[in-house]
């Protein structure tokens, strides 16, 4: 039996992927059907999907990588010795039910009846598919199907029943509920845990459970309570271990670790996607941290194989798990991190596919948002070099923004990474290129920003996000770096004071509030960190800003955002620092001793393309003193 799953892209709704499975189903050629079962039926390749119910903190997703934000139906079948023009007619369903209930699991009539039910479910699309599901539910055969699902001595029959459950579970909430009431969740879990059940059946059972997970956050939580993700992770981990060594041998000089067995590759893809889908949140995920450990470890093994679908689904799964267990110390304490995982993540960032880069970057964002000793478990020496390439202006803005965010988080670790970032010249060059007004050029002679007419690649709002991340890098460097680091920063990026000041000249009504706020923060930090670096009575940076009329610019900003008390206070603080320092009274602020900065912050972003959520959570490490 061959199974082919095809997803088509249409306005960002689906992404194309094709899976095939060869499954021995007894001897279809010798199957004899009663006359009223004819004509025999086959469907054309179809897909049955629907958006999962969104949970809290969800917004409209981006148009890329949307294959994982759906519940998938395993719907296409070929090579079953049926004529492609034949279909299962609704009128014979009562007879199908009769043979289903009257025959024994090992009898051909039982297998054929199950196969026909599965085929009836898959021969329509859209509304027709939902109607077909209703027709099957109205037969009242779920109890019988559940009995057959746990018949582990008839694997072909089990596989077909699990396939039926997968398709029904991809329907509406009203269609999913009868499956739950009929006890299919524990039955599917029984399939996953039974030692005699084949990997193909287990993969199909995992797929069906994952469709349940796509129904709602409440169902995902219930599946977590029943240990579904742990059961699937155990299967995936085992099959990866059994497959990897053989794949290494066959890789030869290519070093591409591929899964040669097509059926096995399909099973591993289904198991990986299932874990990734179950890892979506919407409930108190931290309560289940111990169940996420085997899931994380299994996905870490899956992405070692050189198959793009595994990188995509595995990357999203890793990102979600890290998001769900943020600030859970026990998770990191008990997690057995593969020593090659950091290297593997850095390798995957080099892949020229945005569908791979986005989830891997999100994984790194969530990794680097963890406390230093935990995030350093994943750090690879080649990572900064790879990130510097993604920070280039030639990189799509969504990737560029995330690469900047990873660097900002790394800089906030208060570790030797600060020095490594400063030594990576390209990173500082890209930071310098990003600090300014997107799609504009500054004219110092007139102190104005002129638009670039040719700049049409990306929406300006997206570029402002890159500017914001570049400012985060500067703020964190100024906060965490020692005096030698600050000196190195200013030597490498001599235009930093001027570039920060130039942003204040842009139209105060048009610049995003969060961007100008972070600019003011960076300027405050810069003054505080440089006052004790210069031997002159006057800090040349503050003197330069005074000559640029910083006082009037700050006054105008305060008036524009008069209702934002915190922002107004920041403007006043910067104004006082600049003009008081220029009067040679810096010592009165105790700057020769210890000073308080705005603090380094780690942040994490999870684009949950699987359920339409985009979460931006800022976690302040706290006020730091230097």
Using 50, 70 and 90 to split pLDDT, how confident is the model at 587?
A: very low
Give yes or no for residue 3 having a pLDDT over 80: no
Q: Return all residues near 269 (Cβ < 8 A) that are at least 6 apart.
A: 19, 307, 309, 310, 313
Residue with tokens 């290129």: 433
> pLDDT for 512-571, tens place per residue?
999 999 999 999 999 999 988 876 668 899 999 999 999 999 999 999 999 999 999 999
Contact 168, 180 (CB under 8 A): no
Give yes or no for residue 351 having a pLDDT over 60: yes
User: CB 593: neighbour CB atoms within 10 A?
Assistant: 9
Give yes or no for residue 608 having a pLDDT over 60: no
Q: Two tokens at 589?
A: 């602020």
pLDDT of residue 69: 38
| Spatial distance between the Cα atoms of 551 and 271, rounded to a whole number of angstroms | 61
Phi, psi of 4 (to 5 degrees): -125, 125
**57-61 average pLDDT score:** 32
**484-497 average pLDDT score:** 94
**43-54 average pLDDT score:** 30
**What is the share, in percent, of the chain residues with pLDDT greater than 70?**
77
Q: Two tokens at 149?
A: 């699902």
pLDDT of residue 71: 52
CA contacts within 13 A on the Cβ side of 301:
25
Using 50, 70 and 90 to split pLDDT, how confident is the model at 601?
A: confident
pLDDT of residue 430: 96
User: CB 423: neighbour CB atoms within 10 A?
Assistant: 12
> pLDDT for 288-324, tens place per residue?
999 999 999 999 999 999 999 999 999 999 999 999 9
pLDDT of residue 458: 56
Using 50, 70 and 90 to split pLDDT, how confident is the model at 572?
A: very high
Q: What angle do CA 159, 164, 166 make, to 5 degrees?
A: 90
Domains contained in the chain, CATH given? 53-76+85-215 (1.25.10.10), 227-371 (1.25.10), 379-588 (1.25.10.10)
**88-102 average pLDDT score:** 91
Mean of all residue pLDDT scores within the chain = 80
Give yes or no for residue 461 having a pLDDT over 70: yes
| Spatial distance between the Cα atoms of 87 and 67, rounded to a whole number of angstroms | 28
User: CB 237: neighbour CB atoms within 10 A?
Assistant: 19
> Does 388 or 413 have the greater pLDDT score?
388
**207-220 average pLDDT score:** 95
Query: Ranked by mean pLDDT, which of 236-250, 256-270, 443-457 comes out on top?
Result: 256-270
């Amino acid at each position: 039996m061959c199974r082919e799953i095809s997803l088509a892209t249409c306005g960002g709704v689906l992404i194309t992927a094709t899976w095939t499975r060869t499954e021995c189903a007894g001897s279809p050629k010798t199957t004899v059907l009663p006359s009223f079962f004819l004509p025999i039926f086959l469907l054309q390749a179809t897909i049955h999907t629907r958006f999962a119910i969104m949970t809290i903190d969800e917004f409209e997703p981006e148009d890329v990588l949307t294959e994982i934000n759906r519940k998938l139906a395993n719907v296409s079948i070929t090579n079953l010795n049926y004529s492609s023009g034949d279909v299962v007619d609704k009128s014979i369903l009562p007879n199908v039910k009769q043979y289903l209930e009257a025959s024994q699991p090992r009898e051909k009539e039982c297998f054929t009846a199950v196969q026909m039910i599965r085929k009836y479910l898959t021969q329509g699309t859209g509304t027709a598919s939902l109607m077909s599901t209703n027709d099957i539910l109205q037969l009242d055969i779920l109890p019988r199907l559940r009995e057959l699902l746990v018949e582990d001595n008839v694997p072909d029959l089990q596989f077909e029943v699990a396939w039926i459950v997968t398709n029904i579970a991809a329907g509406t909430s009203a269609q999913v509920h009868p499956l739950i009431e009929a006890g299919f969740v524990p039955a599917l879990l029984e399939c996953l845990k039974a030692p005699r059940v084949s990997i193909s059946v287990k993969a199909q059972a995992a797929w069906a459970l994952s469709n349940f997970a796509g129904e709602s956050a409440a169902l995902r939580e219930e599946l977590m309570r029943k240990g579904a993700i742990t059961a699937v992770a155990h299967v995936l981990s085992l099959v990866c271990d059994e497959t990897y060594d053989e794949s290494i041998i066959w890789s030869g000089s290519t070093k591409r670790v591929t899964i040669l067995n097509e059926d096995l590759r399909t099973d591993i893809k289904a198991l990986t996607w299932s874990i990734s889908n179950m890892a979506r949140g919407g409930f108190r995920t931290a309560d289940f941290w111990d169940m996420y450990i085997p899931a994380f470890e299994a996905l870490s093994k899956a992405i070692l194989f050189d198959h793009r679908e595994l990188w995509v689904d595995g990357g999203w799964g890793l990102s979600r798990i890290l998001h769900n267990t943020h600030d859970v110390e026990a998770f990191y304490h008990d997690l057995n991190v593969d020593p090659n995982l950091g290297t593997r993540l850095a390798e995957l960032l080099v892949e020229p596919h945005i569908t791979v880069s986005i989830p891997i970057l999100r994984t790194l964002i969530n990794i680097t948002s963890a406390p230093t000793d935990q995030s350093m478990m994943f750090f690879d020496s080649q990572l900064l070099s790879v990130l510097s390439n993604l920070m280039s202006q030639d990189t799509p803005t969504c990737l560029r923004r995330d690469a900047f965010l990873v660097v900002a988080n790394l800089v906030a670790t208060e570790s030797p990474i600060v020095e490594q970032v400063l030594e990576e010249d390209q990173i500082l060059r890209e930071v310098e290129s990003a600090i300014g007004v997107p799609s504009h050029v500054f004219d110092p002679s007139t102190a104005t920003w002129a638009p670039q007419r040719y700049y049409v690649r990306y929406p300006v709002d997206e570029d402002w996000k890159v500017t914001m991340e570049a400012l985060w890098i500067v703020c964190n460097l100024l906060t965490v770096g020692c005096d030698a680091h600050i000196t190195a920063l200013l030597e490498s990026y001599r235009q930093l004071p001027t570039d920060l000041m130039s942003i204040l000249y842009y139209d105060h009504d048009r610049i995003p509030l969060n961007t100008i706020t972070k600019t003011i923060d960076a300027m405050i930090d810069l003054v505080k960190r440089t006052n004790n670096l210069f031997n002159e009575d006057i800090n040349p940076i503050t003197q330069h800003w005074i000559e640029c009329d910083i006082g009037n610019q700050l006054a105008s900003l305060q008036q524009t955002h008069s209702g934002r008390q915190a922002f107004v206070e920041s403007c006043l603080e910067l104004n006082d620092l600049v003009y008081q320092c220029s009067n040679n009274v810096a010592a009165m602020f105790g700057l020769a001793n210890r000073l308080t900065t705005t603090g380094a912050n780690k942040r994490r972003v999870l684009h949950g393309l699987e359920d339409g959520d985009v979460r931006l959570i800022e976690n302040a490490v706290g006020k730091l003193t230097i």
